[in-house]
Structure 1
């Protein structure tokens, strides 16, 4: 049995977990404060929250990220995890929690950490990544983090991007009210398992059209910044999609846009890679500079325009032009087309004792 811990912040961790879990050929049990996804293929243990109230020493004097003292929710959730680690969980996957990774390892259970970009050399991340049996990186070896310690790289499976727009080995069960972020539709045809973008939709890209795909929280970009960019590019038509204004068919809109503008979140970038979009990726502030590292890797590889912050309005005409010139052909450096399948096979190899 594989245990899979899903962090509750945002929905990206959950969406990725579902994609991977559906490719597993062994039993899987999910653990999270989030509700069970409609298409989760196995058991789901909903954990009590541990982020309410006024936490006492949640970092254990800087040793951990989150382990508040005297918190009944935290104690209960760790107890529920320990019960299953003691009985039937033979591999614990964490996406992400250093504390759950270390708990599993202390109980003698192999661990696989879904790696994240950015500076993970702080004391807590270093302990978790060092202790992990394997790391799973949802990007390619060609775009690996240049400053990772060699011991991390040696035990890493580079799966390439994992997108909800990749075609699974097994079709998902029909969804019932599942949150699908800024769009609700998927591709009508298979993405190439050889690593290229999916086949184009029937309609060609609409000339001088910009599609902005943006999240709800943790952003410093609002309507004023987007409107200023729109005003500075009078020859372009801008469409903005957010969780409050979702797309009726995000797959189609991604394909039809001349340029897509989005943040540097892992799942947003994975969707750009699935469609082979001409894109501008703007990093948003995140712990450990995760999105900064993603945008830098994209720009460094010449895949698309990667920016460290939202630019001044006057820069947008040039940025859109540069994105168009780069095109979308280099997304093959980022994805293989079957990232979830590769991740599942890597996890099963660790489960069987074969390593990453």
Structure 2
């Protein structure tokens, strides 16, 4: 085997891509990022841009292939899909050519299985939630190690001991948290790329209920017909970590990227977990509530409730959420992957 390390990047949302880049930046000559939509990666990242495997023309991904005869060891294996055939061929050719020391899989049980069938060790990224189905358990068993991109305190207390024994926790896989001085009058709403229930009408109503505050929204949101003066829709931004660090209160889902940036900046957090496969965000929201590290809500509040919700967030002990961060997270994660690959 060579010293090369593959890093498979799932294309749903932005979290997989962002943490892959953060880790690979510590050893760009060792890591090759592999996935769909990677053609625009900047230098010095090596990449293999795979054919798309999605079934819909609008590039949404629900994770279901509709197959009735799918083996229990697989999650997504559509039949007669040229994109699936092309991407698997590209990965097999790269493995045969480079003979990598390992492939990090973030995330896909099919890619983990393919790597193993090609005589290549895997390191599987284990996300939160109830991932005790046969396919996930096979991917966990077959991996040399598991990497979880969150703090151990956010894990399921009932996780099986053998899974915990293989897991290395890696909080802090986000940009630096320190930056500008926070502004107490700014409420920042973070909308991720993986889907959200937040829309412009709800945001406009919330902003009207707190006219003394400035609401800023980053991410893609359907706009409201009438936008109040204290609501600014910024769309996608390149400095999301900075926006989070300078907000008085942050509102967002329980994705690893948003949560990591909020923890790094120790900002008061209103968390609204979004529906995700295997209850990933709901599970993290439950742990945040138990740790009293965030105000966790089951649904978007009525407009009149926002002043009280935001005040509850401001009263939080911010050290509780900061304790879920590791300022050396990316360095440690990269060192761990290199060590495992070198065994």
- Tell me the number of residue pairs that the alignment of Structure 1 and Structure 2 aligns: 319
Contact 1:64 1:124 in 2 (8 A): yes
1:32–1:40 distance in 2 versus 1, CA, 3 Å: farther
Q: Which moved more, 1:267-276 or 1:306-315?
A: 306-315
Report the CA distance between 1:6 and its aligned residue: 0.6
What residue is the counterpart of 1:23 in the other structure?
A: 26
**Aligned: 1:48 with 2:25:** no
**Aligned: 1:79 with 2:94:** no
Instruction: Give the whole-Å Cα distance in 1 for the aligned partners of 2:34 and 2:185.
Output: 44
**Aligned: 1:133 with 2:144:** yes
1:38–1:248 distance in 2 versus 1, CA, 3 Å: closer
Contact 1:140 1:159 in 2 (8 A): yes
What residue is the counterpart of 2:215 in the other structure?
A: 238
Report the CA distance between 1:232 and its aligned residue: 3.2
**Aligned: 1:266 with 2:266:** no
Q: Deviations over 1:286-319 (max 9, x none)?
A: 1111111122222222222222332333432222
| Greater RCO structure (CA 8 Å; 6+ sep) | 1
What residue is the counterpart of 1:300 in the other structure?
A: 290
Instruction: Give the whole-Å Cα distance in 2 for the aligned partners of 1:303 and 1:316.
Output: 19
Report the CA distance between 1:99 and its aligned residue: 0.4
Instruction: Give the whole-Å Cα distance in 2 for the aligned partners of 1:40 and 1:91.
Output: 22
What residue is the counterpart of 2:103 in the other structure?
A: 92
Stretches of structure 2 lacking an aligned partner (at least 5 in a row): 58-64, 221-233
Instruction: Give the whole-Å Cα distance in 1 for the aligned partners of 2:71 and 2:116.
Output: 21
Q: 1:9 aligns with which of 7, 12, 35?
A: 12
Q: 1:227 aligns with which of 204, 217, 225?
A: 204
**Aligned pairs (5 A) from 1:135-150:** 135-150=146-161
Instruction: Give the whole-Å Cα distance in 1 for the aligned partners of 2:248 and 2:128.
Output: 28
What residue is the counterpart of 1:68 in the other structure?
A: 78
Instruction: Give the whole-Å Cα distance in 1 for the aligned partners of 2:135 and 2:263.
Output: 31
**Aligned pairs (5 A) from 1:270-349:** 270-349=260-339
1:327–1:210 distance in 2 versus 1, CA, 3 Å: farther
Residue aligned with 1:289, SS: helix
Contact 2:41 2:47 in 1 (8 A): no
Report the CA distance between 1:280 and its aligned residue: 0.6
Q: Which moved more, 1:90-99 or 1:315-324?
A: 315-324
Residue aligned with 2:235, SS: coil
Instruction: Give the whole-Å Cα distance in 2 for the aligned partners of 1:40 and 1:303.
Output: 37
Instruction: Give the whole-Å Cα distance in 1 for the aligned partners of 2:258 and 2:205.
Output: 23
Stretches of structure 1 lacking an aligned partner (at least 5 in a row): 167-196
Q: Deviations over 1:215-243 (max 9, x none)?
A: 35521221122223223334433222224
1:154–1:40 distance in 2 versus 1, CA, 3 Å: farther
What residue is the counterpart of 1:254 in the other structure?
A: 244
**Aligned: 1:116 with 2:106:** no
Q: Which moved more, 1:151-160 or 1:32-41?
A: 32-41
Instruction: Give the whole-Å Cα distance in 2 for the aligned partners of 1:65 and 1:52.
Output: 14
Query: Could you say what the CA RMSD is over the residues aligned between the two structures, in angstroms?
Result: 2.4
What residue is the counterpart of 2:341 in the other structure?
A: 351
Report the CA distance between 1:32 and its aligned residue: 0.8
Q: 1:210 aligns with which of 187, 209, 219?
A: 187
Instruction: Give the whole-Å Cα distance in 1 for the aligned partners of 2:216 and 2:28.
Output: 41
Instruction: Give the whole-Å Cα distance in 2 for the aligned partners of 1:135 and 1:27.
Output: 19
Residue aligned with 2:139, SS: helix
Instruction: Give the whole-Å Cα distance in 2 for the aligned partners of 1:209 and 1:290.
Output: 29
1:312–1:127 distance in 2 versus 1, CA, 3 Å: farther
